[in-house]
């Protein structure tokens, strides 16, 4: 099961409609498809989703992985990832000082290694990690829209689709946010409501906004203030507001998970495979949160169904999983996963038992997304 080749394909995927969040409006996304082939001809797939970094810079970093893993056994994932982090740059600076960048870049390699190993031995990744604790993973209804009317209409549709947790991006103007939250609360009745300002507020603004929005019965506010401000800002906010707080951008690595959880500032970690560097990094962060009786909630970046499948494999064996997890592929005009059907039914997706990460790629869709990247059809 030695690795014969690794191929990197940058893809551009257009959104069905502009994706509106605190950072602006996105018309589409760039991901990097990672293909690993063994000497036996098994091909595994992963993806790097460089939402927080320049795709071209991340692609350049990934070029250094090839000489590290060619000829090595796909059964040695821990050792290969260690070598990739410490050797592929010719020095140790990236892994020692900037592990967040390494995690963003190399998550796709880790996912592809797991997919390749699973396919090589005919087992789903969750089985290789000790098995699944649950048959399904639960997801929230992710509200989309630009105007308050669009947002309220979509929120109402998500309730009709069976979602128990409704999730809204805020962090626009304070006036818009209050109008949107009010309209969504009206549209979803007594369903659970979570909001995410994506670090848009400073501490005082967050204190004011959370006091104003608390009357709409918020279940959770995610990363209201800058991640760089760390646990002290989140703790100060917690002391002034009764709404539970989640940390998202504050936590990429185990050390950050420990610092944030031990501070007592947050009630939930929302974190994804691209922040943690893959499935094993996510499991490490989840294990730390578990010590503090804190659940983890899979959260997405700009990604395809590959990450949805990998997230389900990772989450299925975690005892402290939350039930408001996130998928992002549904924003795309065309996903690159052919099967399984990744549309949640009553908010749930069955854990895949197919070998590897459990999906089959739509090669034609990959071809179109690759062509779109090279033509820069943005
Ligand atoms: Mg978030």
Tens digit of each residue's pLDDT (9 = 90 or more) over 135-161: 999 999 999 999 999 999 999 999 999
Alpha carbon of 199 to ligand 1 centroid (Å) = 8
Alpha carbon of 265 to ligand 1 centroid (Å) = 16
Q: What is the mean pLDDT of residues 20-29?
A: 88
Rg of the chain over all Cα atoms, to the nearest angstrom = 20
Domains of the chain, with CATH numbers? 3-122+363-375 (3.30.390.10), 128-357 (3.20.20.120)
Q: What is the mean pLDDT of residues 107-114?
A: 98
Residues forming beta bridges with residue 164, ordered by sequence position: none
Residue 20 pLDDT exceeds 90: no
CA–CA separation, 178 and 301 (whole Å): 25
More confident residue, 74 or 102: 74
Alpha carbon of 307 to ligand 1 centroid (Å) = 16
Alpha carbon of 6 to ligand 1 centroid (Å) = 31
Residue 268 backbone class (left: φ over 0; alpha: ψ -120 to 50; beta: rest): beta
Alpha carbon of 367 to ligand 1 centroid (Å) = 30
- Over residues 285-304, the pLDDT tens digits come to 999 999 999 999 999 999 99
pLDDT at position 308, please? 98
Provide the mean pLDDT of the chain: 95
Q: What is the mean pLDDT of residues 106-110?
A: 97
Residue 29 pLDDT exceeds 70: yes
pTM: 0.96
Alpha carbon of 266 to ligand 1 centroid (Å) = 14
């Amino acid at each position: 099961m030695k690795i014969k080749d690794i191929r990197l394909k940058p893809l551009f995927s257009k959104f069905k409609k502009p994706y509106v969040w605190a950072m602006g409006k996105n018309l589409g996304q760039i991901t990097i498809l990672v293909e690993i082939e063994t000497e036996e001809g098994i091909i595994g797939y992963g993806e790097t989703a460089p939402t927080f970094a320049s795709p071209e810079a991340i692609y350049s970093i990934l070029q250094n992985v090839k000489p590290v893993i060619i000829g090595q056994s796909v059964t040695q994932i821990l050792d290969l990832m260690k070598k990739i982090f410490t050797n592929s740059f010719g020095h140790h600076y990236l892994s020692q000082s900037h592990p967040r960048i390494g995690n963003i870049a190399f998550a796709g390699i880790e996912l592809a290694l797991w997919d390749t190993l699973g396919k090589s031995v005919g087992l789903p990744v969750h089985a290789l990690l000790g098995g699944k604790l649950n048959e399904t993973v639960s997801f929230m209804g992710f509200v989309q829209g630009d105007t308050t009317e669009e947002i309220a209409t979509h929120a109402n549709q998500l309730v009709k689709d069976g979602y128990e947790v409704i999730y809204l991006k805020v962090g626009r103007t304070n006036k818009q946010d209050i109008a949107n939250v009010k309209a969504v609360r009206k549209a979803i009745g007594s369903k659970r409501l979570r909001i995410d300002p994506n670090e848009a507020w400073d501490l005082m603004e967050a204190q004011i906004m959370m006091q104003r929005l608390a009357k709409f019965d918020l279940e959770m506010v995610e990363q209201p203030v800058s991640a760089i401000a760390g646990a002290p800002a989140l703790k100060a906010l917690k002391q002034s507001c009764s709404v539970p707080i989640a940390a998202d951008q504050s936590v990429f690595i185990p050390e950050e998970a420990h610092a944030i959880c031990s501070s007592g500032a947050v009630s939930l970690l929302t974190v994804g495979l691209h922040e943690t560097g893959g499935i094993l990094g996510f499991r490490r962060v989840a294990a730390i949160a578990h010590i503090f009786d804190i659940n983890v909630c899979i959260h997405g970046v700009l990604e395809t169904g590959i990450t949805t499948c990998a997230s389900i494999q990772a989450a299925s064996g975690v005892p402290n999983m939350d039930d408001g997890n996130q998928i992002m592929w549904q924003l795309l005009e065309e996903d690159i996963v052919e099967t399984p059907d990744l549309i949640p039914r009553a908010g749930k997706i069955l854990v895949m038992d197919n070998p590897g990460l459990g999906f089959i790629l739509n090669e034609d869709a990959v071809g179109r997304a690759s062509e779109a990247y090279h033509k820069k059809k943005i």
